[in-house]
Amino acid sequence: MLVRIKRGWEMPERLATPESVNADRRRLVQAMALAPLLAAAGPLLRPARAAAEEADPSRLLYPVKRNDAFALDRPLTDEQLVTTYNNFYEFGSHKRISQIAQRLPIRPWTVRIDGMVEQEREIGVDDLLKAMSLEERLYRHRCVEAWSMAVPWSGFPLKALVEFAQPSAGAKYLKMTSFQDEDVAPGQKAVWYPWPYVEGLTIEEATNELAFIGTGLYGKPMPKQNGAPLRLVTPWKYGFKSVKSVVAFTFTDEMPKTFWWEIAPDEYGFWANVNPKVDHPRWSQASERPLGSDERVPTLPFNGYEAQVAHLYKGLEASEGDRLYR
């Protein structure tokens, strides 16, 4: 995804390269200027970082037991890549946000459960973690920009949170909202984006066995750049559905207006199911580049999860058509 002045939209990495190269060059020049200072400050900075890591009270919960029902057809992506190549527009519209994302305070972290529920409530993330049974799952992830990864998430089924929330019978959608704090996240000063980042699922999708709330990665608490302390994981959909650092789960009978849909409704819709046969208006979705590889591999229908989720969309093909796949 790439921003030009007053307008945001996504591009394949290939086309985005010229601008990100310029931005990287600027950062490189800045980094070179700062290098001697940083080297001197290194010993001072390190204890602060260690203290921040120790401050995550969930660290003792990990690693959690792997659920072997969710296996992979490909090797896991290198952890170093997964934690340094990120999309998190709150911290910048490029991939190298892992350092600046460390600014995000993740404790205390309160999650609001509201809208069409038995009773609206707020719960601290550590109490929520205690109420849920954590497991590890190996999932594929396919970004709409045509790069992909395969990672071990820790967390709990979204279905368990829906049951915990006790939605009323009329609720049709679950809307998920990310944090908003422009003092922490400089990207949120870009007023042409419809902050906060919002995503949504139908209740049927949210209670499908694949829908997952990620709270950890590679047997450790979720890194901030990957969406600490909790983020959605919907592996059969394009990655932009998997909203990070969620602060509110809202049950509603209206289809939520999602972040990328508001920016470019013809390119990034509500459904966003992976389909190699339906191209993005500006590039092919037939193949993808696994992070860490130079070779492209074919993209699979529903990102390889057709058996688990295709039935969710059977009745919708006639009315929604290609909108199911972008």
Ligand X SMILES: Nc1nc2c(c(=O)[nH]1)N[C@H]1C(S)=C(S)[C@@H](COP(=O)(O)O)O[C@H]1N2
Q: Give me the residues that bind ligand X (CB under 6 A), please.
A: 86-90, 143, 178, 197, 226-227, 239-240, 242-245
- The distance of closest approach from Cβ of residue 240 to Mo ion in the complex, given in angstroms and rounded to an integer, is 5
- The distance of closest approach from Cβ of residue 319 to ligand X in the complex, given in angstroms and rounded to an integer, is 26
- The distance of closest approach from Cβ of residue 288 to Mo ion in the complex, given in angstroms and rounded to an integer, is 11
Q: Which is nearer to ligand X, 113 or 243 (CB)?
A: 243
- The distance of closest approach from Cβ of residue 90 to ligand X in the complex, given in angstroms and rounded to an integer, is 6
- The distance of closest approach from Cβ of residue 10 to ligand X in the complex, given in angstroms and rounded to an integer, is 8
The contact pattern for Mo ion, residues 86-125, with x = CB under 5 A and - = no contact, is -x--------------------------------------
Q: Does 143 bind Mo ion (CB under 5 A)?
A: yes
Q: Does 197 bind Mo ion (CB under 5 A)?
A: no
Residue 82, sorted as left (phi over 0), alpha (psi -120 to 50) or beta, turns out to be alpha
Q: Residue 153 binds which one of ligand X, Mo ion, none, with CB within 5 to 8 A depending on kind? A: none
Looking from the CA of 29 toward its CB, the CA atoms found within 13 Å total 5
Residue 192 CB-density burial (10 A; 0-12 exposed, 13-18 middle, 19+ buried): exposed
Q: The tokens of 68 are what?
A: 């072997």
Q: Which residue among 239, 256, 276, 304 contacts Mo ion (CB under 5 A)? A: 239
For residue 213, give every residue at least 6 positions away whose Cβ sits within 8 Å of its Cβ, in sequence order, or none.
132, 155, 156, 157, 158, 161, 230, 231, 232, 233, 246
Q: The tokens of 63 are what?
A: 């690693």
The Cα 187–Cα 193 span in angstroms is 9
The Cα 216–Cα 231 span in angstroms is 9
Q: Which is nearer to Mo ion, 143 or 233 (CB)?
A: 143
The Cα 178–Cα 197 span in angstroms is 5
- The distance of closest approach from Cβ of residue 164 to Mo ion in the complex, given in angstroms and rounded to an integer, is 28
Q: Residue 243 binds which one of Mo ion, ligand X, none, with CB within 5 to 8 A depending on kind? A: ligand X
Pick from 223, 227, 77: which is nearest to 142 by CA? 77
The Cα 225–Cα 222 span in angstroms is 8
Of 20-28, 71-79, 140-148, 186-194, which segment contacts Mo ion by CB under 5 A?
140-148
Q: Kindly determine how many residues on this chain lie close enough to bind Mo ion according to the rule CB under 5 A.
A: 4
Q: What angle do CA 225, 89, 206 make, to 5 degrees?
A: 75
Q: Residue 197 binds which one of ligand X, Mo ion, none, with CB within 5 to 8 A depending on kind? A: ligand X
Q: Does 240 bind Mo ion (CB under 5 A)?
A: yes
Residue ranges in contact with Mo ion by CB under 5 A: 87, 143, 239-240
